[in-house]
Homo-oligomer: A and B are copies of this chain.
Amino acid sequence: MPDTTATSYMQIALEEARAAGARGEVPVGAVIVNPARDEILAQAGNRVEELSDPTQHAEMIVIRRATAKAGLSRLVGCDLYVTLEPCPMCAGAISLARIRRLYFGAYDPKSGGVEHGAQVFDHATCHHKPEVVGGLVESEAGVLLADFFRGRR
């Protein structure tokens, strides 16, 4: 039942997103998994505000933690789950880290860099293109973001 597993990992990413929102961050969460061992290597939410650092997106944090844990700069065979379509920075990092498959929740037409805008994976200069599964648990991820931005206005 691979879909059930994917959904359950995305639920963990959503928990991280909710926790990030509760800390005043844009509610995005991410998880990196080694599917061969059914093992979570890292899970995190955004920490941009907390650390005053625009590079602290959830995806960047889990890539840094997972590579540190593995002692390898490439996460070959690993999958990344994130509640929102990655921006170009994160898409670039996902490619550099050699992530096998990217699952994301909500599409991001305003700032996304996978299916929108720069479409980072879709150029000859991108030397590793992960498989991409967009829209996984999309509505839950989207509602979380919509509620957050509504609350800010």
Q: Which residues of A contact B (CB under 8 A)?
A: 48-49, 51-55, 60, 63-64, 67-68, 70-74, 87-93, 95-98, 109-113, 116-120, 123-127
Write out the residue numbers on chain B whose beta carbons fall within 8 Å of the beta carbon of A91.
88-89, 92
Q: B54 and A93: CB pair below 8 A?
A: yes
8 A-B residue pairings within 8 Å (CB atoms): A48-B73, A52-B68, A52-B73, A89-B92, A89-B93, A117-B123, A118-B123, A118-B126
Instruction: Tell me whether A125 and B120 are in contact in the complex, defined as CB-CB below 8 angstroms, given that A55-B63, A64-B55 are known contacts.
Output: no
A98 CB to nearest B CB, Å: 8
Q: A92 and B87: CB pair below 8 A?
A: yes
Q: Which residue of B lies closest to A126 (CB)?
A: B117
The 3 A-B pairs of least Cβ separation, nearest first, read A89-B92, A117-B125, A88-B92
Write out the residue numbers on chain B whose beta carbons fall within 8 Å of the beta carbon of A74.
54
Q: Which residue of B lies closest to A61 (CB)?
A: B55
Write out the residue numbers on chain B whose beta carbons fall within 8 Å of the beta carbon of A127.
111
A42 CB to nearest B CB, Å: 12
A90 CB to nearest B CB, Å: 7
Q: A55 and B125: CB pair below 8 A?
A: no
Q: B93 and A55: CB pair below 8 A?
A: yes
Write out the residue numbers on chain B whose beta carbons fall within 8 Å of the beta carbon of A63.
53-55
